[in-house]
Each structure stands twice: as structure tokens, then as C-alpha cells.
Structure 1
Amino acid sequence: MTPQTPQPLTFDSLDTSSRDAVAELFTRTFTASEGEREGILVGNLASELAGLIDDQEVMAIGARQGDALVGCVIFSHLQFEHASRIFMLSPLAVRTAFQRQGIGSQLIRHGLEELQRRSVAVVVTYGDPAFYGKAGFQPIAPGTIQPPFPLSQPQGWLGCSLMGEPLPALPGRPTCVRPFRNPAYW
């Protein structure tokens, strides 16, 4: 018997019908890397966000191998009082067996390209500066773009301009989509 060649990865937009698969992906991935408590927390967040996918306020890109969801990135709208459309990248997960193959970077790239087509000017994230820095995210200077809630690790607040301009200074804290209104995520 000859071994089968793995199916190629495909990247596509997800909708609310993917909610269970998204929740399972994030729960398992974060449990494996951060422990059960974090896995449940992030899995619940991803499930709530996936239930809101409407391609306006919440957008998700999935990486699939055949029918299996092996990675996902979710973007959600941040509403500032006097600003154009700003989105937040969070969360992102790649199934443990598929990590370190560039899938996370490809998910980010696909998502940023789609947001750029939609004339989104800025994307922010709260995560590892070393990882997200490879995708063009840079630390946000204090007072430039505030997060929705105070951060436990301010060095992880990062931004990326999609229009080739410096990040704008935006007054006030933004309003985030409902699932992110839990201070435990910040």
C-alpha cells in the first residue's frame, strides 16, 4: 500500500454554519498549548464570534485540508466615534499537527487582503509581537489607538496600516463586538 499524498490546503471565508468546527479547533488548540482553562475560555470566545459571522462586523477565514478545518482567523469591527472602519484580528488558531508550516501567516495574509479590498484602513491585534510582527504589525504607541479595555500585557497591542500610511491617532476607547466585552480577554 502506498501512502496517500496529503490534500492541499484551501482558504475560504467561513459562515455561521462553521461555528461548531471553529469552537472545537480553538478549544483543542489552546488547551494543547495553554492548558484546559485557557482552551475553554478561547474556545467559548471563538464559538460566540463564529455565531456572529456576517462579513460586516465579524469575518472569519478558514484553512481546510479536505473537509477538515485546520486553521482559522477571526476579524471583528472596532467602532471608534470619529474613525473609518478599523478591525481587530483575534483570535487565530492552527491545529497543533499543522503548526510551524506557515498556515497562520497565510490566514493572516488572506484576511488582510480581504479587508484591504473592503477599504479597511487599520487592523489591530493583541498578541505576540514576534509572531505578528512578521505579518507587518507594529507596537502601537500609547495614546494612538486605545484598546477597548485596559491590557494585562500592553506590549501585545499591535497595529497594521493597510493603506500604507502611519497609524492614525484615534481619541477614546472603541466599542468592540459583544463577545469581547469580557475583561478576561484583555
Structure 2
Amino acid sequence: MQLFNQTFADSEGTDEGKVIGRLASEIFASTENDDLFVFIAMEEDKIVGSILFTRLTFESDKTAFLMAPVAVATQIQGKGIGQALIQFGLDTLKQQDIELAFTYGDPNFYSNEDNSDYIN
């Protein structure tokens, strides 16, 4: 939660950081394990990036997940970590036969460098 709070506070202001930190906390507290994928990027022993995918339910026979929020520590943004997290997450969803993924945000914000060494 701290990563989401700090990253969004740095880019959008303290209030937005608190909102996104609270959102991530509520997602963890209220979402069943089968309805949530969480991926992290680590540098040494510290979490420096994270992405959440939560199940979307609507009238369809297709399985869908929402990608949000996504955060990469401010001091290491621009190294492709966000893009690697997104790609890793989408690849994992595909392996699980999940047919649709949506985003609430702009994955183009992250660079296209492949930095998969950060992914856990």
C-alpha cells in the first residue's frame, strides 16, 4: 500500500496518493483470492513496482480482469519496469485462459524497455 500511496502522491499529490493507497488496501481486503492477481517487481529486498488485476463481472461468457492500479517507485521510473510488469501480468492472464483485460489508466506511460529481471 505504501508503494501505491507514495508513487501517486509524488505524481498526483498527497490526496491522490492516499486515495490510491486506500483503493489498493480495499482491493486486498475485499477481493477473493481467485478474483485477484498481484504481481510485484523487486530490487534487492525492496518492492519497487506492483500491479493488480481484479476480476470484472458482467453479462458475458468471457472471463475479464481489470488492470489497476499500477505503480513503480518514483526514483526508478523510466527503466521499463512498469512495462515489464504489465506484459508479465497479461502473459499470465493469457496462460490462465482469461480472455479479456481492461485498464483504468494508460500503460503507454511506461517505456517499452524489457526489464523482466525485476519481475517476481
Residue 60 of structure 2 aligns to which amino acid in structure 1? H
Structure 1 unmatched runs, 5+: 1-22, 135-186
Q: 1:102 maps to which residue?
A: 80
Answer 1 or 2: higher relative contact order, Cα 8 Å, separation at least 6: 2
TM score, norm. by length of structure 1: 0.56
Match status 1:34 vs 2:12:
yes
Q: Percent identity?
A: 39
CA deviation profile, 1:131-175 (whole Å, cap 9, x unmatched): 37x7xxxxxxxxxxxxxxxxxxxxxxxxxxxxxxxxxxxxxxxxx
Residue 65 of structure 1 aligns to which amino acid in structure 2? E
- Quickly say closer, same or farther: Cα 1:130–1:104, change in 2 above 3 A: closer
TM score, norm. by length of structure 2: 0.84
**How far apart, CA to CA, are the structure 1 residues paired with 2:108 and 2:89?**
19
Number of residue pairs matched by the alignment = 110
Where do residues 83-102 of structure 1 align in structure 2 (5 Å cutoff)? 83-102=61-80
State the SS of the aligned residue for 2:78: coil
Cα offset, 1:128, TM superposition: 2.6
RMSD: 1.6
Q: 2:100 maps to which residue?
A: 122
Cα offset, 1:50, TM superposition: 2.8
Moved beyond 2 Å, runs of 4+: 50-53, 128-132
Q: Which has the larger radius of gyration?
A: 1
State the SS of the aligned residue for 2:60: coil
Cα offset, 1:129, TM superposition: 6.6
**How far apart, CA to CA, are the structure 2 residues paired with 1:94 and 1:126?**
16
CA deviation profile, 1:63-108 (whole Å, cap 9, x unmatched): 0112200000000000112222111100000000110000000000
Higher helix share: 2
CA contact (8 A) 1:53 1:59 kept: no
Residue 85 of structure 1 aligns to which amino acid in structure 2? T
CA contact (8 A) 2:86 2:107 kept: no
